[in-house]
Amino acid sequence: MLLLNLELLKAGFPAIVVPVERRLAYCEALDIAHVEGDTGPFLELVGECVREGFAPYWHVLRADAGGR
């Protein structure tokens, strides 16, 4: 997961934390991407985690935008 976070940070996204309750889904999606070449489930899960990682910033961004 460290390499994934490195690539996310290099692309301007926040690092993600995969909650314990989603670790099995993460590993299964990663396995499907590796074995079957279907990256859809993995990208969906990572996308959800990225959106959740941005959650603390949405409040600040909305408040800042409202003041202008």
Q: What is the pLDDT of residue 63?
A: 62
Task: List all residues 6 or more positions away from 23 whose beta carbon is below 8 Å from its beta carbon.
Answer: none
Can you give the pTM of this predicted structure? Answer: 0.76
Domain extent listing, the chain: 2-66
Dist CA 27 CA 59 (whole Å): 31
Compare 39 and 67 and report the one with higher pLDDT.
39
Compare 30 and 53 and report the one with higher pLDDT.
30
14-43 pLDDT, tens digit each? 889 999 999 999 999 999 999 999 999 999
